[in-house]
Amino acid sequence: MSTGFLFPGQGSQTSDMLHDVPDDYFIRLEQATGYQLKKATNIESDTVYIQLAMLVKAAYYTDQIKKAGIYPDLVAGHSIGAFCAALASECLSFENTASLVYHRATLMKEAYPADYAMGVIVGLTRTEAEKVVAESFDTNFPVYLSNENCPMQHTLSGHIKGLQQALDHAKTYHAQTAKLLSVPVPSHCELMDETVKKFEPFLQNVTINSPACPYVKNIDGRLTTDPAEIRKDLLQNIAHPVQWNKMMDVIKEMGTDIALEFPPGNTLTKLIHAKFGENKVIRTINLDQHGIDDAIFLYQKWR
């Protein structure tokens, strides 16, 4: 039996997701970054706010679950969730994680302050999604195929005009869903190559310790306990498609029978259900849905 801690990516955020987070976390964040999360404005479309808010939310819930004596046998995070996973594995301190996320988000926002985003296509194979992008590609409004979330769900990244063209074209392939996501930057594609170069010095100056449990990498879906590999993954996942489909296969192969999805949202729970069936191969506990107390009760019941 094995327990996985899973952390979602940007796009899962909600406007009220910080309502239950104690002030101590905001104070520690400000001390580490200088950023006043509670006083931020334009919160629904600001990359810096969104990524820091997701980190703070994950940190609080992780601490509460661990206080109940529940620890992960592996951790996995989607995009910004990878930093939350690294924190949960104890290879990074909260202060170092906050500093990294702050600089990462700031560089991403500076690179693409407007007119760029991400979209999602559901109901097409990877090959079909590749055709959609190739057939609708416009050099003036570039779009690239990015994350592989599950066999029939893929994301696109690029200029909003190009994304709308590609998403409309996906409907001619009878895509079940083709829509824009609440991600105001074109993550996980070559448009972010320069941002990777700018972010690298910040990662090189931070100590990454050996994790307390294996970490599942975004860029290839493999497990690692090597700090150098974790550092590489946290750096390269900015411009590299997240291989969440492969990551789920590895999570299953490692014998994970209970997966806790940390807030916000239920995106990863849905992806596990889509791939393996609801509570069949892997039982899921969604902390946003159940709350901390009920999630702990349910975990202890199943264990």
For residue 32, pLDDT over 80 is answered with yes
pLDDT on residue 1: 76
Q: What is the pLDDT of residues 138-175, one digit of tens each?
A: 999 999 999 999 999 999 999 999 999 999 999 999 99
264 pLDDT above the threshold of 90: yes
With a cut of 80, say whether residue 196 has pLDDT above it: yes
Residue 11: per-residue pLDDT: 86
Angle at 217 between CA 137 and CA 187, to 5 degrees: 30
Burial annotation 184-212 (CB, 10 A radius, 16+ → b, else e)? bbbbbbebbeebbebbeebbeebebeebe
| Ranges for all domains in the chain classified under CATH 3.30.70.250 | 116-183
pLDDT of residue 20: 95
Stretch 294-300: mean pLDDT? 97
Q: Is 193 helix (H, G, I), strand (E, B) or coil?
A: helix
**Which CATH number is correct for 116-183, 3.40.50.360, 3.20.20.370, 3.30.70.250, 3.30.70.20?**
3.30.70.250
Strands of the chain, DSSP E? 2-7, 74-77, 116-122, 143-150, 153-159, 177-180, 215-216, 223-224, 256-261, 283-286
- Per-residue pLDDT, averaged over 94-114, amounts to 97
Tell me the average pLDDT of the chain: 96
Mean pLDDT of 214-227: 98
- The class level of CATH for 2-112+191-302 reads alpha beta
Question: What's the Cα-to-Cα distance from 110 to each of 39, 195, 199, 200, rounded to whole Å?
Answer: 20, 9, 12, 16
Position 158 scores a pLDDT of: 98
Residues of the chain with CATH 3.40.366.10: 2-112+191-302
Q: How many CB atoms lie within 10 A of CB 246?
A: 17
Q: Which band of pLDDT confidence, cut at 50, 70 and 90, is reported for residue 14?
A: confident
In the chain, % of residues over pLDDT 90:
93
Tens-digit pLDDT profile for residues 65-75: 999 999 999 99
Instruction: Quote the percentage of the chain above a pLDDT of 70.
Output: 100
Per-residue pLDDT band at 280 (split at 50, 70, 90): confident
Residue 39's pLDDT band, with cuts at 50, 70 and 90, is: confident
Q: Does the pLDDT at position 41 exceed 80?
A: no
The mean per-residue pLDDT over the stretch 111-123 comes to 97
